[in-house]
Amino acid sequence: MRVLVVEDERLLADAIAEWLRAEAHAVDLAHDGTSALERVYVNDYDVVVLDRDLPRTHGDDVCRAMVRADASARVLMLTAAAEVTDRVDGLGLGADDYLTKPFAFPELAARVLALGRRSRPAAPPTLRRAGIALDPARREVFRDSRYVPLAKKEFAVLAELLRADGGVVSAERLLEKAWDEHTDPFTGAVRLTILKLRRKLADPPVIETVKGVGYRIP
């Protein structure tokens, strides 16, 4: 998934990003509310992890702006305030979930994954097609009951192809969902990852190239 982490405490922001990247998510960072809105209006995020107490533009105002813009991203709001009224206020602004600081990174990752599922059309917990079974929660992939070890980007790209349910996914869409904003779109990263996936998934070939359009698992 593509995740935006908005947190002005840079060490904490980096730690959250590192943990989510280890879960095979593409993560962008913003350290104030104004920068966050600039990214939200440009990029198609699945989840925004949003600190409530932000400089420049307050987290509450970021959340309100996302609701007004009908942004599809789900919002996980972070705050140091633990009072019930604070949580209710945050959810009332349009946040989808609320997590108080300090928090455990595994819990944050689990909540991000759950919100990401809600940002898309309903899908089964395990994605299946063409003999492939991918479990997003356990980060496991099997082909015809054979375990297939995948790197993070390979896993993310395969998940997007399976979610398309036989439809064609463009290279641009794969780049947007599996890599962060600092990736050069002309690096050939998608093509190289598809080649590695094909090799690891083995024969018979399962990922098709639709010339000039993208890739699909029919």
- Quick: pLDDT tens for 38-83: 999 888 899 999 999 899 999 999 999 998 888 889 999 998 866 6
Is residue 15 within 8 Å of 145, Cβ to Cβ?
no
The rounded mean pLDDT for the chain is 87
Residue 175 has pLDDT above 90, yes or no: no
Indicate the pLDDT class of residue 169, thresholds 50, 70 and 90. Answer: very high
Residue 122 has pLDDT above 60, yes or no: no
CA distance 30 to 3: 11
pLDDT at 106: 92
CA distance 45 to 71: 9
- Average pLDDT on 24-39 reads 92
Indicate the pLDDT class of residue 172, thresholds 50, 70 and 90. Answer: confident
Amino acid at 147: Y
Please write the tens of the pLDDT for every residue from 75-114: 999 988 666 666 666 577 788 998 888 899 999 999 998 8
214 backbone φψ class: left, alpha, beta (φ>0; ψ -120 to 50): left
pLDDT at 84: 63
Instruction: Please indicate, yes or no, whether the overall pTM of this predicted structure exceeds 0.75.
Output: no
Residue 208 has pLDDT above 60, yes or no: yes
pLDDT at 5: 97
3-state per-residue secondary structure call for the chain: CEEEEECCCHHHHHHHHHHHHHCCCEEEEECCHHHHHHHHHHCCCCEEEEECCCCCCCHHHHHHHHHHCCCCCEEEEEECCCCHHHHHHHHHCCCCEEEECCCCHHHHHHHHHHHHHHCCCCCCCCEEECCEEEECCCCEEEECCEECCCCHHHHHHHHHHHHCCCCCECHHHHHHHHCCCCCCCCCCHHHHHHHHHHHHHCCCCCCEEECCCEEECC
Percent pLDDT > 90 in the chain is 54
